[in-house]
Amino acid sequence: MKVLVTGASGFIGQALCEHLQSSGLFVRAQMRRQPAAAANYECLIGELDDLAFLSTALAGIDVVIHLAGRAHQFGKDASNLDAMMAVNRDLTLRLAAEAEKNQVKRFVFVSSIGVNGVETNAVPIDESSPPNPIKDYALSKYEAEIALSARYIDQSGPMDLVIVRPPLVYAANAPGNFRKLLKLVDKGIPLPFSGVSNQRSMISLNNLTDFIRVCATHPDAGGEVFVVSDGQDFSLPEILQALFEGKSKAPRLFYFPVAIMSTAARLLGKGALMTQLCGSFIINSEKARTVLNWVPPFSPRDELVKSARDFK
């Protein structure tokens, strides 16, 4: 089986290409610039809006795994919804159309659990949960899902569609808020989170790449949407304790009222960050286990410990 991975130079893309290659699949990696180190799979440098490049990239490909997208924008581009839509929705649809023309058999679209919102209450999110995209990034992913589904989910054409919505993905080289936690733990700074009693679903990079491989190859994955996680949820103190263990440091957590922290965060314009750290977000990924018979191959707590141990 021949697989094209878009956005292959990113955090998830690099690990995914290595995992697919080691699993015996032929991997062609689309990148926008030359990789820093040599890879043991085929690398093509080019833009996804270049039809001539796409013709070369898609030649002989059985499965496209689409990771490329516009995310984590800051400054003046942080709320540029049009730019998000142009890349995450419109470019995705053009890529899928070209893939179909080139007789690709399956299109795996890696979306975001943000399609379902930013916080849960007592009821975990699953594939039947109503969409609730809050951020521009999630909205652009959701609109791409709608358009792709209208064309491919219920069609009996030559190319089927798989949609994957991962939550926070963690590893030693993870970006975003997880990297901020790793930095705080690495410095040994006392943290005021011992009183946080939330629950969060996440997925390790190793578990996610394995799940995406299954979505690319399993005959029953076509036409399905999957929310996926490690299958074990942690509170913020439990996450931090595992990270401190990975750094061979005693946990440095102390109590401070969550309500006061939340109020202060909102006043400082950091309410969203506080929700991500201290709010609950729980996923029920039972469908991945029942439909695909997928069990996360890596222990989530071990993966958290390893993330801190390997962090530099």
Digitized pLDDT (tens) for each residue of the chain, 312 residues in all: 999 999 999 999 999 999 999 999 999 999 988 876 778 899 999 999 999 999 999 999 999 999 999 875 544 455 588 999 999 999 999 999 999 999 999 999 999 999 999 999 878 999 999 999 999 999 999 999 999 999 998 767 789 999 999 999 999 999 999 999 999 999 999 999 999 999 999 999 999 999 999 999 999 999 999 999 999 999 999 999 999 999 999 999 999 999 999 999 899 998 888 988 899 999 999 999 999 999 999 999 999 999 999 998
φ, ψ for residue 293, nearest 5 deg? 55, 35
Instruction: Give, in order, the Cα–Cα distances in Å from 97 to each of 91, 102, 147, 213, 215.
Output: 10, 9, 11, 22, 20
Strand partners of residue 29: 5, 43
Q: Distance between CA atoms of 235 and 59, rounded to whole angstroms?
A: 46
Q: Residue 254: what pLDDT?
A: 94
Rounded Cα distance, 63 and 216, in Å: 7
Predicted TM-score (pTM) of the model is 0.94
| Predicted pLDDT of residue 73 | 52
Look at residue 122 in the predicted model and tell me its pLDDT. Answer: 79
Q: Which one of 137, 142, 152, 170 is the catalytic residue? A: 137
170 noted as active-site residue: no
The separation between CA 178 and the C-alpha centre of its own chain, rounded to angstroms, equals 13
Give pLDDT, residue 272. 86
Contact 55, 102 (CB under 8 A): yes
Report phi then psi at 277, rounded to 5: -80, -45
Q: How far apart are CA 5 and CA 65, in angstroms?
A: 5
Q: Which of 164, 233, 183 is nearest to 12 (CA)?
A: 164
Which pLDDT does position 155 carry in this prediction? 65
- Please list, in sequence order, all residues whose beta carbon lies within 8 angstroms of the beta carbon of residue 283, skipping any fewer than 6 positions away: 113, 124, 125, 126, 167, 201, 227, 228, 229
**Cα–Cα distance list, 281 to 97, 108, 200, 244, 275 (Å):** 34, 24, 5, 22, 9
How many Cα atoms sit within 13 Å of 197 on the Cβ side? 3
Q: What are the C-alpha distances in Å from 179 to residues 31, 168, 205, 288?
A: 24, 11, 13, 27
pLDDT value at residue 75: 45
Domains and their CATH numbers in the chain: 2-170+202-231+282-297 (3.40.50.720)
